[in-house]
Amino acid sequence: MSADRWAAGSTYEDFMGRWSRQLAPLFVAWLRIPDGVHWLDVGCGTGAMTNAICGMASPASVVGCDPSAPFVEYARTHAQDARSSFVVAGVDRLPSRPGGFGSVTSLLALNFFPDAAAAVHDMRARTTARGVVSACVWDYAGGMQCLRRFWDAAAAVDARAREMDEARRFTLCSPARLADVFSSGGLGDIRCDAALPRTPAGTIALTARAWAVRGTVL
């Protein structure tokens, strides 16, 4: 992954993890993966996707991997399902299992990988025939309003903040670009869709939109 790193899982949870945990169940439901499948969660972070898989998808097992040791430790500490396990590993050395995984997924991490196309290729290599490779990323350009408002305000105070704006940095996060990356990775039956988790809390209502993509190993 890139230099975007958090020193502690609890810090990430306070800032963005609450959004991840609302999004993960929607993503799992959209994927419609059959019961009894072995999953690999790439860039598992603090465990939102792994926990959602265990709670909703009836998996045979879920392996979550992330290059951040503090994130993996947080995920292990807060996991409550014996079917889940976590390892410290980046996208360049993904875990494998005999026979492969039936579903290899990545929630809110694909845009942080140094080479998204190479990451999709490696994810496909860990996937069984007819298995599914999938990813979900925030719509930084306009649909993730809490971040959009933040960066607009930051740029108004200091123009240099524009260089850190995720909408400028992560142009991958659009349906067309995601479909291209999955197609170049050798996947078929590619589908993109938008997920719209909403929260009733607070006095200002903001939409949090994410783009999800999945493809089948043909």
Question: Structural domain of residue 20, as residue ranges?
Answer: 9-138+171-217
Tally of domains within the chain: 1
Q: Is 87 helix (H, G, I), strand (E, B) or coil?
A: strand
pLDDT over 50 (residue 202): no
pLDDT over 90 (residue 209): no
Q: 150 lies in a domain?
A: no
Q: 131 lies in a domain?
A: yes
pLDDT over 60 (residue 5): no
**What is the per-residue pLDDT for 148?**
63
pLDDT over 80 (residue 52): yes
Q: 164 lies in a domain?
A: no
Minimum mean pLDDT range among 74-83, 134-143, 158-167? 158-167
pLDDT over 70 (residue 168): no
Q: 1 lies in a domain?
A: no
Are 173 and 139 a contacting pair, CB within 8 Å?
yes
Q: 153 lies in a domain?
A: no
pLDDT over 60 (residue 133): yes
The better pLDDT of the pair 19, 115 is held by 115
CATH of the domain at 77: 3.40.50.150
Q: What is the pTM of this model?
A: 0.81
Q: 24 lies in a domain?
A: yes
Q: 41 lies in a domain?
A: yes
**What is the per-residue pLDDT for 1?**
36
Q: Is 92 helix (H, G, I), strand (E, B) or coil?
A: helix
Q: 160 lies in a domain?
A: no
Confidence of residue 190 (pLDDT cuts 50, 70, 90): very high
**What is the per-residue pLDDT for 139?**
84
pLDDT over 50 (residue 2): no
User: Which pairs count as long-range contacts for 93-98, CB under 8 Å and 24+ apart, including other chains?
Assistant: 94/40, 94/42, 94/65, 94/122, 94/123, 94/126, 95/40, 95/63, 95/65, 95/126, 96/126, 97/38, 97/63
